[in-house]
Chains A and B, each alone.
Chain A
Amino acid sequence: MDAQTLQKLGRQKVSDETGNQKKLSALWQDKRVVLVFIRHFG
């Protein structure tokens, strides 16, 4: 994945269970993260 795509990804927002939104890049700003994208909440 190129830097541009990662930048674009980092700008996307995700929500937690209380509806709080977070910029994706904030998750890996200060640590390494394993992002597991699941198909659905089945």
Chain B
Amino acid sequence: MISRRQVADLNNNMKDFELRNAQLIVIGNGPEEFILPFREATRYKGPLFTDPSLKTHNILGFKKGVTSLIGFNPLKAGIRALSTGYLQKGVQGPPLQQGGVLVVGTGNIVHYLYRSQKAGDHPPIKEVLQACEV
């Protein structure tokens, strides 16, 4: 439920990325057959890929483990998602895998990297937009 809410939020920021000549791309880690239902649930129309092998997540050093799920915030984010109608319909991908955001461009230049520390932890959108400007 947390990922859906996050992507629905990102839908609202799509234009801001386009204005900065940056393209938003979502990468999940579930099986390919879950991409379409995910699109329907989030109404996300941009590029969407998946890496069920989790190799990309591992290379980026994204967290994996139970400890990153412990804490009050995931619960709070879950309740927020619930109350706004983003219900999780079963787990479609490794539930203990954390995500993050990478802004990278031509010439293989990394402009920004954010590793989520726990479920529901996302970078401030302002930071990501700034990374598209420098």
Contact = CB atoms under 8 A, between A and B. Distances in A.
Interface in B13-32: 17, 20-30, 32
Contacts, number: 161
Given A39-B29, A40-B3, 8 more contacts: A28-B106, A33-B23, A36-B101, A37-B100, A37-B102, A38-B27, A40-B28, A41-B30
B73 interface: no
Nearest to B3: A38
Interface of A: 1, 3, 5-10, 12-17, 19, 22, 24-25, 27-42
Contacts of A6: 104, 108, 110
Contact of B113 (A1, A13, A19): A1
Interface of A is mostly: mixed
Interface of B: 1-4, 6-7, 10, 17, 20-30, 32, 34-39, 47-52, 55-57, 59-60, 62, 88-95, 97-106, 108, 110-111, 113, 116, 119, 128, 131-132
A14 B76 CA distance: 31
B57 A31 contact: no
14 contacts: A6-B104, A15-B32, A15-B51, A17-B39, A22-B49, A27-B23, A32-B103, A33-B24, A34-B17, A34-B101, A34-B132, A36-B24, A37-B56, A40-B92
